[in-house]
Amino acid sequence: MGMAGESRNWVLMVTAQTPTNIAVIKYWGKRDENLILPINDSISVTLDPNHLCTTTTVAVSPSFKQDRMWLNRKEISLSGGRYQNCLREIRNRACDVEDKKKGIKILKEDWGKLHLHIASYNNFPTAAGLASSAAGFACLVFALAKLMNLKEDQSQLSAIARQGSGSACRSLYGGFVKWIMGKEENGSDSLAVQLTDEKQWDDLVIVIAVVSSRQKETSSTSGMRESVKTSLLLQHRAKEIVPKRILQMEEAIKNCDFTSFAQLTCADSNQFHAVCMDSCPPIFYMNDTSHRIINIAEKWNRSEETPQVAYTFDAGPNAVLIARNRQTAALLIQRLLYYFPPNSDDLNSYVIGDKSILQDAGLTGMKDVEGLPPPPETKDNIPSQKYKGDVSHFICTRPGRGPVLLADESLALLDSENGLPK
């Protein structure tokens, strides 16, 4: 076989970085559990990978005895159906690979006999409900496709990533992305397409409030299953409401029309959580803090002529707030820090990501936060309550680019000599 037979100790590897995404028109409910086919289209915004991304290194070597994977430095099992589906789909499409520098040639028929090592790292808390599986599976598929020289385009790769985690298909592009539900039984037409890249609407600023939540929420997989079985609202949503919203949202994005964008985003998030409550037994992803953040946003939006901020919540209590521009984002951060002051004296570990928003808001340290006046929309006669410690931290970010390869070997997570985690 053409695998540089003389030496069995070469290691060939690729490292990639993939962003996470947040749906503004939600995906909730599958028509096929195994292939992960949704009952409606969805639209998401990709977040800046500098603040929220997965880095994955994939390696192949004739010396590897079995497929192995490490996530955030802990070894995990690859026996799950979702990993197996992705690995099989990619191996089936592998092509010849030649690395002249290393004198390695792998023929496409050899990929079935070779084992892989995979190491993946999220630069954000995995359990924070920030779609870590979306970035993770997208990164795995993107990196393996590069390693095995696949000829498929991003849209076709998205259909493979979808089989790992539904929302992963949307992380193969930057900017705004639509996941088309598709009609085919085999899922071949259920894939992601880019609506617009991250540069087209680059005024937007995204602030994520990571809510201190005590209890573990229902997993989205089992939550969806319950909703599909028991919620009448879900059926109505998928058939009547989402198709219209998708068209309106595409229009709003194309025209950078923040007013429509905000109204649609908030309404769709609220309806998704209404579907969860309409399930039997009801599913509660938001908590009191989530509800307070909605109230703050709604009160502010109503006090102005046009919406200032959109909010959306996935299957968890964290708020994703989208401000129309930097100036508004600064006002948003002032409001959020007024109601949810940090527990510690360290403002910098409380607001992470793009710190320049803090400067825009005139907040350099805790003195400035303590000196914040109540927002003008709070009624003077009602002393507004503060909820210290209810938000664990804020992440300031923006719409970002899709997956990229990292050429710099020092950023790889596996050792190029033995293919084990560094």
Q: Where are the alpha helices (DSSP H) in 231-287?
A: 232-236, 242-254, 258-277
Rg (CA), the chain: 23
Q: Which of these, 278, 270, 322, 283, lies nearest to 301 by C-alpha position?
A: 322
Give strand ranges (E) for 88-202: 97-99, 104-106, 115-122, 176-180, 191-196
Instruction: Give the model's confidence band at 126: pLDDT under 50 very low, under 70 low, under 90 confident, else very high.
Output: low
Residue 37 pLDDT:
98
Q: What is the pLDDT of residues 247-291, one digit of tens each?
A: 999 999 999 999 999 999 999 999 999 999 999 999 999 999 999
Q: The tokens of 213 are what?
A: 């939540």
- By three-state DSSP, how is residue 154 classified? helix
CB 161 within 8 A of CB 136: no
What is the Cα–Cα distance from 256 to 43, expressed in whole angstroms?
Answer: 15
Cis peptide before 281 (omega within 30 of 0): yes
159: part of which helix (H) or strand (E)? helix 154-161
- The residue ranges of every structural domain in the chain are 12-196, 205-397
CB 319 within 8 A of CB 311: yes
Q: Please report, for residues 136, 165, 191, 284, the alpha-carbon distance to residue 133 in angstroms, rounded to integers and kept in the order given.
A: 5, 6, 17, 21
- For the chain, the straight-line distance linking the first and the last C-alpha, in angstroms and rounded, comes to 30
The answer to which of 42-46, 50-54, 263-267, 316-320 has the lowest mean pLDDT is: 50-54
Give strand ranges (E) for 142-251: 176-180, 191-196, 205-211
What is the Cα–Cα distance from 166 to 168, expressed in whole angstroms?
Answer: 5
Percent of the chain with pLDDT over 90: 87
Q: Which of these, 10, 12, 18, 15, lies nearest to 119 by C-alpha position?
A: 15
Residue 349 pLDDT:
86
Q: Residue 31: which residues within 8 A CB-CB, separation 6 or more?
A: 37, 38, 39, 181
How far is residue 92 CA from its own chain's centroid?
A: 27
pTM above 0.85, yes or no: yes
Q: Please report, for residues 176, 193, 253, the alpha-carbon distance to residue 202 in angstroms, rounded to integers and kept in the order given.
A: 11, 19, 11
Instruction: Give the model's confidence band at 3: pLDDT under 50 very low, under 70 low, under 90 confident, else very high.
Output: low
Flag whether pLDDT at 6 surpasses 90.
no
Phi-psi region of 206 (alpha: psi -120 to 50; beta: other; left: phi over 0): beta
Residue 21, burial from CB neighbour count under 10 angstroms (0-12, 13-18, 19+): buried
Residue 234, burial from CB neighbour count under 10 angstroms (0-12, 13-18, 19+): buried
Q: Which one is predicted more confidently, 372 or 344?
A: 372
- By three-state DSSP, how is residue 143 classified? helix
The CATH classification number of 12-196 equals 3.30.230.10
Q: Which residues make beta-bridge pairs with 118?
A: 58, 69
CATH classification number, 205-397, choose in 3.50.50.60, 3.40.50.2000, 3.30.70.890, 3.40.50.970: 3.30.70.890
Flag whether pLDDT at 130 surpasses 80.
no
Flag whether pLDDT at 173 surpasses 80.
yes
Q: The tokens of 331 are what?
A: 């006002």
Compute the mean pLDDT over every residue in the chain, rounded to the nearest whole number.
Answer: 93
Flag whether pLDDT at 380 surpasses 70.
no
Q: The tokens of 405 are what?
A: 């390869």
Pairing of strands 115-122, 53-61: antiparallel
Instruction: Give mean pLDDT, residues 178-207.
Output: 97
Flag whether pLDDT at 4 surpasses 50.
no
- By three-state DSSP, how is residue 206 classified? strand
At position 142, the amino acid (one-letter code) is F
Flag whether pLDDT at 1 surpasses 50.
no
Q: What is the pLDDT of residues 95-116, one digit of tens each?
A: 999 999 889 999 999 999 999 9
